Copies of this chain bind each other. A is one copy, B any other.
């Protein structure tokens, strides 16, 4: 497996901002079954091993699940405020839930579950997101889930970038490069006007 040509640029951006927690947050856009755009902040959970796929996690009860089931495509917008760089990455989304048949991806799901904190794991046992607020705090303080056994609500989401639009605001004019996947591990690279 070859790293995509934009991987080293992204790795450098992450390294330069490594002391900023929010540098690992980005915005993921999806489309509702009715054709409306949705957008939310999610956390970068690293790359899937031996691939260029980006890992995020979500709750099976989240609205984005229905959206991705209807249209399995997303666009990440990742802005690094310190270095003034933006990566827009469009690609296919895969939902790896408890019954997903691929053994390697189940291993990745388990490993990702193990890597997150107790506090993050607990959220998957909380009351249903975006329903009327449960005022009692007891349902939010359930016992810590087993770190070796992902809850059924835990979904690993993979985004497989097929177009990456890289913009760096430094320089006048600014610099912008489009990377397009045109074949297996073949990336076409084009410098464009910002």
Expressed in whole angstroms, the minimum distance between the Cβ of A75 and any Cβ of chain B is: 4
Give which listed residue, B88, B127, B133, B178, contacts A39 with CB less than 8 A.
Answer: B88
Nearest chain-B residue to A67 (Cβ)? B37
User: Does A180 touch B at the CB level, under 8 Å?
Assistant: no
- Pick the most buried of A37, A71, A77: most chain B CB atoms within 10 A of its CB: A37
Q: How far is the CA of A134 from the CA of B193 in the complex (A)?
A: 7
- Pick the most buried of A79, A119, A127, A128: most chain B CB atoms within 10 A of its CB: A79
What 9 pairs between A and B have smallest CB-CB spacing?
A29-B29, A29-B39, A22-B81, A29-B37, A39-B77, A27-B27, A133-B191, A140-B173, A39-B75
Give 17 A-B pairs besides A37-B74, A37-B90 with Cβ atoms closer than 8 angstroms: A22-B81, A25-B81, A29-B75, A31-B36, A35-B71, A36-B75, A37-B75, A39-B76, A81-B81, A126-B193, A128-B193, A129-B176, A131-B192, A132-B190, A133-B190, A133-B191, A134-B193
